[in-house]
Amino acid sequence: MHTLCVTSGKGGVGKTTLSINLGIAIARTGRRVLMLDGDLGLANLNVMLGIIPKLTIHDVVRGHKTLSEIVMKTDYGIDLIAGASGIAELANLGETERQNVMRDLEGLGGYDVLIIDTGAGIGDNVVRFVLAADDALIVTTPHPTSLTDAYGIIKTVLAEEAKPLKLLVNCATSANDARRIASRLTGVTDKFMHGSLECIGYVPVDPLIEKSILAQKPHLILNPRSASAQRINEAAMRLIKHDNNLKSSLGRFLRKLIGH
């Protein structure tokens, strides 16, 4: 299984929107996709998908449910685990709770890709998610504050581990615009941080994306032929290009996250 963590420095740059739509694009290749809402503040994934979770990771930590019992199916070929407060608890488990989570790790097989949508910022939990995942996708917009904050999270992650990072430029006005933005960040990471940052594409501003959120239905489902949907699709294909080589598992990811 391929684990992918979607994150950003600044909030509101499109992580949740892109996570869902990248997930749908990947599911269309026949891969089984599981989405995990790793946002500690507002749980947004389920809102954008128009579903109300009855159970979250909290119920697994408490030992009331197994991971496979809290998975929700959607109509779009992707499954979802709601995080809520349980996500913060994962990082701070007592021995009984740890055993509750570990016990059913292996019971949740069959997925090819796990996408974790995180909150913004350099908080401990976000960095832990990034480090535990195979791949980290940094989302930024061309806005200077978003770029500065993207630089901040890249620097923090690379200070912990020299892992290859991926970049997606959201709300770019053109391919040229995106290239310019990407080269500013990759220039810095290559020169000073010995990390690698691969730009996997860009997504233009599209009012249909905002509309799809109001409709609580994914953009790729409502507007599959729009230019922005095509750019999302291309980025998704670049993300999964080499994922057949990955021998990761949900168990491995959670073990790294929990720290045992």
Q: Which residues define the annotated binding site for ATP?
A: 10-17
Alpha carbon distances (Å) from 11 to 16, 39, 121: 10, 11, 7
Give the nearer residue to ligand ATP in terms of CB position, either 37 or 59.
37
Q: Which does 125 bind (CB under 5 to 8 A by kind): Mg ion, ligand ATP, none?
A: none
Q: How far is the CB of 183 from ligand ATP (least distance, A)?
A: 20
Give the nearer residue to ligand ATP in terms of CB position, either 161 or 210.
210
The answer to whether residue 170 forms part of the interface with Mg ion (CB under 5 A) is: no
The answer to whether residue 16 forms part of the interface with Mg ion (CB under 5 A) is: yes
Give the nearer residue to Mg ion in terms of CB position, either 21 or 44.
44
Q: How far is the CB of 31 from ligand ATP (least distance, A)?
A: 22
The answer to whether residue 44 forms part of the interface with Mg ion (CB under 5 A) is: yes
The site for ligand ATP (CB under 6 A) is made up of 8, 11-17, 39, 44, 119-120, 170-171, 203, 205-206, 209-210, 213, 228
Q: Which does 190 bind (CB under 5 to 8 A by kind): ligand ATP, Mg ion, none?
A: none
Q: Which does 209 bind (CB under 5 to 8 A by kind): ligand ATP, Mg ion, none?
A: ligand ATP
Q: Which does 14 bind (CB under 5 to 8 A by kind): Mg ion, ligand ATP, none?
A: ligand ATP
The closest alpha carbon to 36, from 98, 125, 159, belongs to 125
Give the nearer residue to Mg ion in terms of CB position, either 16 or 189.
16
Q: How far is the CB of 224 from Mg ion (least distance, A)?
A: 22
Give the interface with Mg ion as residue ranges (CB under 5 A). Answer: 15-16, 44
